[in-house]
Chains A and B, each alone.
Chain A
Amino acid sequence: MFKTYILILQRDLTLALRHKTEVLTTIFFFIIVISLFPLGVGIDKELLQKIAPGVAWIAALLASMLALERLFSSDYEDGTLEQMLLSPQPLFVIVLAKVSAHWLLTGLPLVLISPLVGLQYHLDFDRVIMMMLALLIGTPILSLLGAIGAALTLGLRGGGVLISLLLLPLYIPVLIYGAGVVVDSALFNNNTETYLSLLMGFLILSLVLSPWATAAALRIASE
């Protein structure tokens, strides 16, 4: 089972790294969105510091969602997904491997690039660290929940817009606590642990339930 996980993960990473533009598009999308906000709302330093966590998280939600369409669609089109469904390996593990690959390709780069938000929005070092930590815990949740949406809309017309309609309401708790921890760390500097524990709990919940729901959705999609 572990071997299956590693194999699928390696395969997905190899495939993605042969099309580097797809990975880079997501990162640049994130950078462009966070750069546009100051142009839209004005360059007042205090205002920027205030909105920075929210903007970073919303940009991360959108960037992670943009890449979701690719999660299953190419495998679905060339029939690989059908072989995966037929294989004796548990679908749960296969889904988990694909989601992990998705996170390594979209979530992790966003975490690493997020100090850029700190520079552009004049955040101090503590808050940048806190934001990176929150993104590190939060982005896997986005990938896990996103997989359900990607599986449900597999092969549909206008799937991309539909995914956002299905998923954005479900992303709300991550947004609230992910952005909240950065804001709060600046205000009181004490109860950040509570936020991070809540995000962690949410991560565990989605880790257990999401691959299962995704597997069910994939079976429905390829009936």
Chain B
Amino acid sequence: MRINWFKYAAPANFYPIAGALAPWFIALAGVLAIIGLYWGFFQTPDILTDQKQYYRIIFVHVASAWMGMWLYAMLVLWALIGIIFNTRLSYMFAAAIAPTGAMFTFLSLWTGAFWGEPSWGTWWDWDPRMTSMLILLFLYIGYMALQSAIDDPRRSDKASSVLAMVGLVMVPVIYWSVNCPNPAECAALHQSSSMEQIDPNIRNAMFIMVASFWIYSFGVIMLRIRNIILEREKQTRWVQELKECQ
């Protein structure tokens, strides 16, 4: 049997399956969020004593920061696939991922500020991690601005894909320069991963939140792609024959 790998690359085939999957993704994300937040807020030990309950913002903060970074990588991957195979749907994926990625990046900055105020006594500090998240947000905004500035969808897709790829080449350079503004002291600034030092209870609740946000991204991106498909293919017959477009 020959498998048609590109069957769902056609917007007409992808549209119904995206519509069927999206509610499931969103429902699952909601259930996981409830479990994760309940576990995180009420079932984790008060290891940091009662005065420091604000640490619980970690359950939203870490998950959104990870999704913000991961979605940029996915955006670039779809942009790259779009450039290679010239498939319309890949560009639509990239375009649909951007707002969600920007939202999560913003959320991580916002929750980080809320955490920073009680613990560090300041809403904002020019710590390397915060600065690089801020720059990631700028990259998302640049991508979306270019995308919406070009009226012709084919040109806007390709141009913003080139920008996303330039951004990906630059991200390590930017990240490194923000981390080591003084190259001589770079070693001292390096933060090692603290994942292993976390109480397993807290870590598991955090991972459930990551899964929830991840699945939520799937659901929302499917819905957004459906909108983009309708917008771009509105002159085609299959769209005009759709029940919801009558």
A contacts, CB < 8 Å to B: 148, 152-153, 156-159, 162, 165-166, 168-170, 172-173, 176-177, 180, 184, 188, 191, 194-195, 198, 202, 205, 209, 213, 216-217, 220-221, 223
Contacts and interface: CB of A to CB of B under 8 A. Distances in A.
Nearest to B145: A165
Residue among B139, B142, B150 with the most chain A CB within 10 A? B142
B101 interface: no
B142 A223 contact: no
Contact of B163 (A166, A173, A194): A166
Interface of B: 135, 138-139, 141-142, 145-146, 149-150, 154-155, 158-159, 162-163, 165-167, 169-170, 173-174, 176-178, 181-184
Nearest to A201: B173
A158 B149 contact: yes
Contact of B142 (A165, A173, A180, A184): A165
Contacts of A152: 146, 159, 162-163
5 shortest A-B CB distances, which residue pairs? A173-B177, A169-B138, A194-B183, A220-B158, A166-B142
A162 B146 contact: yes
Given A168-B138, A191-B183, A202-B173, A217 B162 contact: yes
B180 to A, nearest CB: 9
Given A220-B159, A220-B162, A169 B139 contact: yes
A198 B183 contact: yes
A209 B170 CA distance: 11
A156 B150 contact: yes
B141 A195 contact: no
A107 B149 CA distance: 28
Contact of B149 (A153, A169, A184, A198): A153
Contact of A173 (B141, B145, B173): B173
Given A166-B163, A213-B166, A216-B162, A172 B146 contact: no
A153 B162 CA distance: 12
Contacts of A153: 146, 149
Contacts of A165: 138, 141-142, 145
Contacts of A148: 162-163, 166
A194 B141 CA distance: 32
Contacts of A173: 170, 173-174, 176-177
Nearest to B161: A220
